[in-house]
Every structure is written in C-alpha cells, then in structure tokens.
Amino acid sequence: MSSKSFAAEPFALPFDPQRTALVMIDMQRDFVEPGGFGEALGNDVSLVRGAIEPCKRVLAAARAAGLLVVHTREGHRPDLTDCPPAKLTRGGETFIGTQGPMGRILVRGEQGHDIIPELYPVAGEPIVDKPGKGAFYQTDLHLILQNRDIRTLIVCGVTTEVCVTTTVREANDRGFECIVPQDCVGSYFPAFQKAALEMVKAQGAIFGWVSDSAAIVEALRA
C-alpha cells in the first residue's frame, strides 16, 4: 500500500494511486449549460458552472498520474422505456424527452446529453450511461472498478445532493472509500451543497471524505 494520502476532513485518507479512480459524475450539457434539463426545471445553471475549472485541474492531474478515469451520463433511451413515470412527469410536467435547444432533453445520443467540451473524455476513458441518480444502478460501473482492483474513488460532478452523493452512498455500501473535492461538485441550491457535504463526512467519514481540488492535485503530483 502506498504511503500517499489526501488531506481531507474528517481526517487524511491514505490511498494507492494504482487502486484509485476518478469518477466524473454527469458533467453534461443538459445540467451545466443553458437550455438543458437543469434550466428546464427552473434552475440557474451558473451556480454549478463554478465546478468546471476545479474539475479540469483534478482531471488533468488524474490523467498525468495514470489513474483510471470514468465519466457518467444520466439519460434515457430515445423511446423512454427506461424512464419511470414518476421521473418522466415531475410535478405533473414532462421535461425528459421533450425538444430543447440541444435536442431532446436527457435522451442518449442528443447534443445536450453529452459531456461538456471542457471535460470531454479521451480515448480509453470509459463512459457509463446511467438511467438513474446513482452511477451503480443498472450500469456496469462496479464491474469496471472491480476489474481494475479499485479501492478509492475521487468523486466529482453534479449535482452534489443528488447524483454525486447517491453514487457515494452506493459506493460506500460496496466497500469503496470515496473522497469528494468540495469545489469540484456543484448544486443549484447552496444550502443543499453545504448539507450534502456535511453528511458525507459526518460521524468519522460515515460515507466518505471531503477535500478540495488543490489537496487532490497536490497528493496526485507528490
């Protein structure tokens, strides 16, 4: 086991770079650019765009250190057969599958469903398409991580209180240690961001650790 560690709360997290992966959650145009699903729900997407630059720094450091990098995208089949009715008609209104400025909202293959250019995957980086909030639900993410003997996950992306922390909780139940750089995740609701991060690190890292991009980059470069 490597002697490397991430500076974090509630305490430092030791990690082995060969058994560590970066998981970039749902940094899609539908969530972080105007005209997508996030805005259709009435949100101000500028509140999540602050995570892009810190994510770029962590992504570059992870690639330079040779870490496995996995990207996820939330979205559905074009016929919407994998979208539960309760999700399809939130508050009695339908957004998913309707036409937006970047194609049909949250539909696989559409422009809005794809990952933003600033964080676009390079060759060899798996993309996991997921129909739900958590990245493990109905996907092969666990198999991908298991095949690489991964133990520690650096989890970035949007939104903090929904897809990010759902994935962290799923990972925790599967035996992974998760660290969340707080400036690499974003929410449309600042109060939710704060509460979600507090929940992750509470009670001695009950779900995981909270850090920041500078600490992650420093540890990966050490």
- Catalytic sites, residue numbers: 26, 130, 163
Q: How far, in Å, CA of 53 to CA of 59, rounded?
A: 10
Instruction: Tell me how far CA of residue 88 lies from CA of 32, 93, 166, 170, 202, in angstroms.
Output: 20, 8, 19, 23, 33
Pairing of strands 99-100, 103-104: antiparallel
**Could you give the C-alpha distances from 3 to 12, 15, 77, 204, 211, in angstroms and in order?**
11, 7, 44, 21, 18
